[in-house]
Each structure stands twice: as C-alpha cells, then as structure tokens.
Structure 1
C-alpha cells in the first residue's frame, strides 16, 4: 500500500470518579455512584450509555500497515498501563507515522473520548491537532476535517455523512464474509471489566480493529486505490498474520473468515 495506515478502536467503561466529581457525590461508593449516574442518564436520554466525557478508556487496539510488508494488530500498552499512558501512546503513533487513520464511528465516539481523556491526562499530540500551523499541507489534509480522508470514519463515509444510514460494523462484516464481533459486544465491556476480564476485552477490541481493516481494504478497492490483485495480496498478508499467531481469538477469527 502506498501510505501507512493505522486502524484503531477503543473500549471504555463509565468514569465513576468523574461522575462522582461532576455530580457532587463525594462519600458514595462506586456502586452508589454508578446507580446515580445510570438513573440520571436514563432520565435524560433513555439509555445508561455515558457521554464521551464520562467514559474511561480501558483498551486501545490498532492495526498498522506500514512499509512493503509490515502488518500487525495489537493492544497498546500492557494490562497494567494507566489510561493516560494508553492515550498518549496512541497519539505518539500518530506523531511517529502521520498515518491515514481508519475507524468505524471514530468521529462519533472514539476520537471525542480520546480528546477528553487526553485533555484530562495532559497528553500532547501536535501532529494530530495540526491544521497548518506546523505543516502547511495539513491545512488541507488533517485529522479533524470530516470530509477529508486523513481520518476515514468508514461508518460515516459509507452512510454519506447521514446518521439515518449508519450501519453496525458487525453486520457489514458479516455481509462481506468476515467474522464480525467475537467474544462480546460493547454492551458487555463494563460487566467484563468489573469481572477482571481485561484480557478478553483487549482481544475483543483487536478483532473489531481487524474487521474494520478488512472492510477498509474493500473500500479501497471500491475507490480504485487497490486493484483485484493488490486486494488479494493485502488480504493474504492478513491471513499470514493470523496463521502465525497462537492466540485463540485469532484462530477463531480465521475460522470465521469465510471469503
């Protein structure tokens, strides 16, 4: 591929410490804070899903396609890494590679969360935020422009920037013969986190990233940026990555990839 591509996805849980501060719930334990946050959010929006500024990042997975043959998928940091470290290391990758960023609903959720958490933890990300101050070309080719492709939010682009046409990644993946979500879905992450299953969350996040990358390859074929042979070569590179791994979630992914 002609350019470095970084596909990303995050997993989050409600920020109970933040909720405690915002709602003035000092003295309440986590269970009481969560009950209060849920009740207020349900009353306001009919859902207990917290807004981006009250989400805490517990996993960030990325797929990096770089150079002539380089491809891998991994979770940033180890299981003991702090949230601030995870967020800073994500932005460090952008500083290092200035890649094409690819996501599924990254503009609607993942990036706003990373913005707020980066602000909270004092993270630094000049190349990400640059719109021409440091690099003149970034005025017309930056990560913040919705209708540019430096960050390609596949869900937004394929829906022609119309929320009523948004589709779930899982269903698009299945339509393309990909495994879709494996192990859990986003609604189960908080439950898994409270049960100490961070490793499972990280594996789930990685499979979401790989689904997104493979959808992106089909999108690049549709755009004319990959011909049939190049698409087969890129998909073959992914298969070799999966075959070389001993991780159970990659074996399951390979088994579920039907075409």
Structure 2
C-alpha cells in the first residue's frame, strides 16, 4: 500500500439525552433541550467547558476523506439515526486503507468504542484499522493537551475556522441543520488529511514534490465539487488568515 492510500476521519457526537435521563434520574417532564442544558451546565461548573464524558455522547455524524486507489474519496453522513451511522461508518472503515485522525478530541474514538460496545455493533476489519489510527497531534506534539485542529489549520493557511464544539453542534441539531453539521465534519477530515500528508513529507515517506502535486490535484478536485463549502475551501485555501 502506497503512503498516499490513507483516509482521515472526523466524528461528531451529541449529548446522549436518554443516558443522561437514566443516570441522573431526571423527570420525564424535562425536554431533550433542558436535559442537555442541565448536563452542559454541570460540566461547565465542574470543568469549565461543555465537553461531556465519552460514555454520555452519541454519534451524530462522520466523514472520511483521502485517497484510495488513486482517487480522492469523501464519505460522510449526519443524522439522528445512530445505529445507521455506526454501521455506515464501520463499513467504510472496513473497506478503507490506513486511517488517520488529528487527535482523540477531534475523532473521539473513545466515545465511538463505548457507543459500539453499548449497541453491540461490530464489523469485520473495521476495528483493527480504527485501533491502528494514530492521532497525528500525538506524533507531532507530546503536550498534555494537543493543539486544536482549527488553530493549527488557521496557522497553516488552511481555512478551517471552527473547532469541534459540542454546544455549536447541539445548536445545529436543534435547528435541524444537518447539512451545516455534515459540512463541518467533512472540512475537518479534509484538513486532517492535508496535515497528515505534510507529516508524511516531513518524515520522508513522500517527497516534497509529491506532496505539492497532491495538493494541486486536490485544489482542482475541490473546485469542481457541487458542495459550496468545498468550493469555498478551495477558493480561500492558502490565503493568509493571521491578524
């Protein structure tokens, strides 16, 4: 398998409202929104952020982007159907070459494992690839907390302006804006792949010329895609975003 054959993954999760109700013995009169806000407020008070522990998250969307068999490949989906998402994502992973991600924070593989464990969902070939998915941020920086993908992307001239923010994701779900959610997941997977290719160039697995040729091909590919967020990424890619 050539170093080029690799897909980067990004995952999104929602508060597990049913689980929060069960564990906190919350009354049925509380709406899903109120249950989620209750959980967010408790986490803000305890940790200073909205981020919920992995066992209280449910999968809401995924994206895989990269090159397979010499062609760019983008697979993504976002919906309330967690069982369907788990199955579709694991099927895609089982058929993929090597997998990469930016960090556990972006991919939330810990939450994915717990959700699959609770649901009893498995696919032959998927979990070995996921277990071998080394977060790129860990390879690059051994800091206690890895740098946020959105910040590294911005400094690298890659137009990804939003980090993995559970509150923002929850608001998109409440608004029924699944396309916006799916688009952000796709861009995170795209940026993770680009950074992984740069890391392969730094490590000598591919040459600088190969990496630059791949980026040129990707720009052309993005420009002819029907999705506006992909076209916009291509148009603004490389422009300085520093202030």
TM over 0.5: yes
| 1:95 aligned residue | 94
2:144 to 163, 180, 192: 163
| 2:120 aligned residue | 122
- Does the 8 Å CA contact 1:181/1:204 hold for their aligned counterparts? no
> Residue 191 of structure 1: CA displacement?
1.1
**Secondary structure of the corresponding residue to residue 139 of structure 2:** helix
| 2:65 aligned residue | 63
| 2:50 aligned residue | 48
Cα pair distance change 1:124/1:185, threshold 3 Å:
closer
2:195 to 215, 229, 247: 215
Listed as ranges, the matches of 1:184-203 within 5 Å are: 186=165, 187-203=167-183
Q: Distance in 1 between matches of 2:127 and 2:48?
A: 34
Q: Distance in 1 between matches of 2:161 and 2:123?
A: 30
- Does the 8 Å CA contact 2:13/2:59 hold for their aligned counterparts? yes
Q: Distance in 2 between matches of 1:31 and 1:240?
A: 42
Q: Distance in 1 between matches of 2:214 and 2:31?
A: 50
- Does the 8 Å CA contact 1:61/1:75 hold for their aligned counterparts? yes
> Residue 234 of structure 1: CA displacement?
1.3
Q: With structure 1 as the length reference, what TM-score do the two structures score?
A: 0.82
Structure 1 unpaired stretches of 5+ = 131-141, 145-149
**Count of residues in correspondence between the two structures:** 236
Cα pair distance change 1:114/1:86, threshold 3 Å:
same
- Does the 8 Å CA contact 2:101/2:107 hold for their aligned counterparts? no
Residue 234 (1) aligns with residue 214 (2): yes
> Residue 18 of structure 1: CA displacement?
1.1
| 1:254 aligned residue | 234
- Does the 8 Å CA contact 2:65/2:74 hold for their aligned counterparts? yes
- Does the 8 Å CA contact 1:107/1:153 hold for their aligned counterparts? no
Report which structure shows greater RCO (CA 8 Å, sep ≥6): 2
| 1:24 aligned residue | 25
Moved over 4 A (4+): none
- Does the 8 Å CA contact 2:11/2:61 hold for their aligned counterparts? yes
- Does the 8 Å CA contact 1:156/1:163 hold for their aligned counterparts? no
Q: Distance in 2 between matches of 1:34 and 1:80?
A: 17
Structure 2 unpaired stretches of 5+ = none
